[in-house]
Amino acid sequence: MSARLNTTIDQSSRLSLYVQVMQAIQDSVADGSISPGEQLPGEPELCQMFGVSRTVIRQALRELEYDGVIVRKKGKGTFIAYPKLKESLAAELTGFYQDMEAKGHAPFSKILKQEIEPASRKVAAYLQFEAGTPVIRIDRLRFVQEEPIVLVSSYLPYALFPELVNVNLSRRSLYEYLAEEYGIVISRGHRFLEAVTANELESQLLQVPKGAPLMLLDSISYLADNTPIEYYHALHRGDRSRFEVELIRLAGDQKDLHEVLYDALKVPSG
């Protein structure tokens, strides 16, 4: 590691030493000298390598951690962080599988549950029918490059898609299946975003510490005639996910989109 890490520091520069240390590590990541997941040397070795004090090294590492360049694991050390996976939140109506494929990743899902069950009051309210109505529930742990990224539960009306309960979605997009087999095209969606922490089961499945930050995404998907056909509840790892939102100004006396999203976030998620 030390032979590959850029450790060039100009003691006469007007640029702060900790900033130079930061830039050196960032340059090493950018040019491929250090790869995501690799461990950095400990603080004493970094002090020796850069020829600076421990205070300088600690300040540089704090800033790099804040910027998401590195991640510190208690009892293990400091590692180069993996880049966050970007997903569209409001600009495009695509699913996780399609988002990841479009960015050159090879996603796959571990199916945890795929069965018919009576809709709870929450699910029934989102899908606009009576509680107890049969729905197909699909629980998936979704991976990118062998790493679990999202834990998601999808609910769809059984009466509309009875064959779906037997479809293998481990390496197939749900939206792609609905389009190809039923001619279903999602026209719009309503999404709620909330910050939560991982419970014991979620931490085990997503391979993060209990209490780690997660992004909860609740979504209802609609047809062009405003019929809701899917509700899903997704938990995204906060350390590996980043959402992209496009803000536009609406004509007339309507609210800006960011105001609409703010109002949506005030709605309890149930």
Who's near 91: CB < 8 A, 6+ residues apart? 244, 245, 246
259 lies in a domain? yes
pLDDT surpasses 60 at 47: yes
Same domain membership, residue 89 and residue 76: no
How many Cα atoms sit within 13 Å of 114 on the Cβ side?
17
Classify residue 225 as exposed, middle or buried by CB count within 10 Å of its CB (0-12, 13-18, 19+).
exposed
Q: Supply the CATH number for residue 206's domain.
A: 3.40.1410.10
Task: Name the residue range of residue 36's domain.
Answer: 17-80
**H or E element that contains 15:** none
The enclosing domain of 25 has a CATH number of: 1.10.10.10
Please check the confidence at residue 167 and state whether its pLDDT lies above 90: yes
What is the pLDDT averaged over residues 206-231? 91
248: pLDDT confidence band, cut at 50, 70 and 90? low
Q: Same domain for 201 and 259?
A: yes
What pLDDT does residue 46 have? 92
Question: 158, 236 in Cβ contact below 8 A?
Answer: no
Give the model's pLDDT for residue 250: 55
Distance CA 150, CA 234 (A): 7
Do 158 and 67 fall within a single domain? no
Same domain (yes/no): 100, 56: no
Confidence of residue 64 (pLDDT cuts 50, 70, 90): confident
pLDDT in tens, 98-129: 454 444 556 788 999 999 999 999 899 999 99
Q: What is the DSSP string of 49-85?
A: HHT--HHHHHHHHHHHHHTTSEEEETTTEEEEPPPPE
Contact 114, 137 (CB under 8 A): yes
265: how many CB neighbours lie within 10 A of its CB? 12
Residue 260 above 70 pLDDT?
A: no
- pLDDT of 251 > 50? The answer is yes
Both 168 and 254 in one domain: the answer is: yes
CB atoms within 10 A of CB 208: 19
- Same-domain status, 64 and 100: no
- What's the start-to-end Cα distance of the chain, in Å? 49
Is 230 part of a structural domain of the chain? yes
CA distance 117 to 64: 47
**Are 160 and 236 within one domain?**
yes
pLDDT at position 270 is: 35
3-class DSSP state for residue 253?
A: coil
Domain boundary among 80, 111, 130: 80
Domain check: are 176 and 222 in the same one? yes
Q: Which residue has the higher pLDDT, 55 or 65?
A: 55
Contact 216, 234 (CB under 8 A): yes
Mean pLDDT for 186-204 is 88
The length of the chain in residues reads 270
Q: Which of 139, 143, 138, 114 is nearest to 207 (CA)?
A: 143
For 124, phi then psi, to 5°, come to -65, -35
Domain end position, chosen among 37, 55, 80: 80
Position 213 in a domain: yes
185 and 130 share a domain? yes
> How distant, in Å, are the alpha carbons of 76, 104, 196 from that of 145?
23, 11, 25
The pLDDT of residue 130 is 92
Domain count, the chain: 2
Domain assignment of residue 10, yes or no: no
Whether residue 41 is found in the same domain as residue 174: no
21-35, 142-156, 159-173, 236-250: least confident range: 236-250
| Same-domain pairing of 109 and 35 | no
> Beta partners for 109?
142
Q: Is pLDDT at 249 greater than 70 in this prediction?
A: no
Task: Verify that 89 and 192 share a domain, yes or no.
Answer: yes
Q: Is residue 8 part of a domain?
A: no
* Residue that finishes a domain, picked among 80, 112, 132: 80
Is the pLDDT score of 192 beyond 70?
yes
